[in-house]
Amino acid sequence: MRIAVIGGGPGGLYFAYLWKRRHPDAVVELFEQNPAGATWGFGVVFSDQALEFLRADDPDTVDAIAPNMESWKNITLNLRGESVEIDGVGFSSIGRLALLSLLQERVRAVGVTMQFDKPIQSVDALQGLQQGYDLIVAADGLNSLVRRSFEGDFGTSLSYSSNKFVWYGTAKRFETLSQTFVKTERGAFNAHHYRYSPTMSTFLVECDRATWHAYGFANKDAAHAKAVCEEVFAETLGGQPLISNKSLWRNFPWIWNEHWSFKNMVLIGDALHSAHFSIGSGTRLAIEDAIALTKALESEAHVSTALHRYEAERKPIVKKLVTAARTSADWYEKFPEHMKLDPMDFAFSYITRSGRIDDARLRAMSPNFMAGYEASRSKS
């Protein structure tokens, strides 16, 4: 089989690696529009469950990645000078560039042909290369060329959350995945921050639309926005500056496709669906898509049948996660209102926001937090 993979993010790299490792005689070519060492953003997060899912299918890759990860077992929420810890919520993080470099090494080791600095201008041009491909895997992200070229055929829908966010890094070390909520005279801000290496952390700043307009960000440049965020979160940053990398205010895009394939083209990862950063599942979903697509292709004699199987088996799982992500995002669109709650009530509202965790599960998962929460409720 001759396969073209468009996009050198985690999903594209992992599919190329997985298929070539299992099928050494296959021709697998990967095209990435950026240089090998380029990436935007800073760290990516995996839950403990996500890593265990990957370990079940590919322990060698987890063993290669794990030594480069930072891990913790709780979440810290900071509100009005008070901190609340929610125990039992395990996460690990790694720098996005470090993850890409590790996956590139594995892809290279199994013999995949990778072409960086190679933007694909059209699907027709790609089909003309090497006498065409049996399968084109579109792992080319939110702005996918393949998806945009056939939006009607994929049944694409696109909408945006109203909140604004901007993604920075910082040399300030944070011991856990943390959220800091700050109210100013002109509005409210939230920072999602966590370390992804011993010396670096992600620092994602979010605000509602009213706050964004009150600060006049629409008419200010990126340097001004960075300075404001450094001022708002000066105490949290402990004097460390924010680090920019294509750090611009954006609205989160919600992408969904009713049809996951068209002809010999199939979508995976952000090209197919998006999941809000508040549940940290984007990279996980892309890698799981790659695993599901590989299994479907191995289970069927014909590519077209395999692509239908991939969609039929994977879509219900993804829908469930995307629904949880939308519910989580809805909570964040009202976070200035939630900030009026008592810190313990606020923390309970936060941890149950996606609808996936009820009281019983929370007692089993986070006994220390629930003991404190129930004690606070008994006093009120």
Query: Is the CATH number of domain 2-36+96-159+253-332 3.20.20.10?
Result: no
Contact 229, 166 (CB under 8 A): yes
- For residue 81, the tally of other CB atoms under 10 A from its CB is 7
Rounded distance, CA 78 to CA 176, Å?
A: 12
Q: Would you tell me how many other CB atoms lie within 10 Å of the CB of residue 152? A: 8
The ranges assigned to domains in the chain are 2-36+96-159+253-332
How far, in Å, CA of 84 to CA of 374, rounded? 14
* Paired tokens of 76: 């810290």
CA angle 136, 159, 248 (to 5 degrees): 90
Place of tokens 């000066």: 234
How much is the pLDDT for 129?
54
Q: Using alpha carbons, select from 158, 105, 186, 166 the residue that is nearest to residue 273.
A: 158
By C-alpha distance, which of 241, 49, 87 is closest to 176? 87
- DSSP count for the chain of H helices, then E strands: 16, 15
Per-residue pLDDT, 90: 85
13, 99 Cβ separation under 8 angstroms: no
Residue 212 Cα distances to 9, 220, 229, angstroms: 31, 11, 11
Q: Using CA atoms, how far apart are residues 97 and 254, in angstroms rounded to an integer?
A: 24
Residues with Cβ < 8 Å from 326, sequence gap 6 or more? 254, 276
Handedness of CA 160, 92, 296, 1 (dihedral sign): positive
pLDDT tens digits for the chain (380 residues)? 999 999 999 999 999 999 999 999 999 999 999 988 887 779 988 887 777 878 888 899 989 998 999 999 999 999 999 999 999 988 899 999 999 999 999 999 999 999 999 888 888 877 665 458 999 999 999 999 999 999 999 999 999 999 999 999 999 999 999 999 999 999 999 999 999 999 999 999 999 999 999 999 999 999 999 999 999 999 999 999 999 998 999 999 999 999 999 999 999 999 999 999 888 778 889 999 999 999 999 999 999 999 999 999 999 999 999 999 999 999 999 999 999 999 999 999 999 998 888 888 899 999 999 999 999 988 76
Instruction: Say what the pTM is.
Output: 0.93
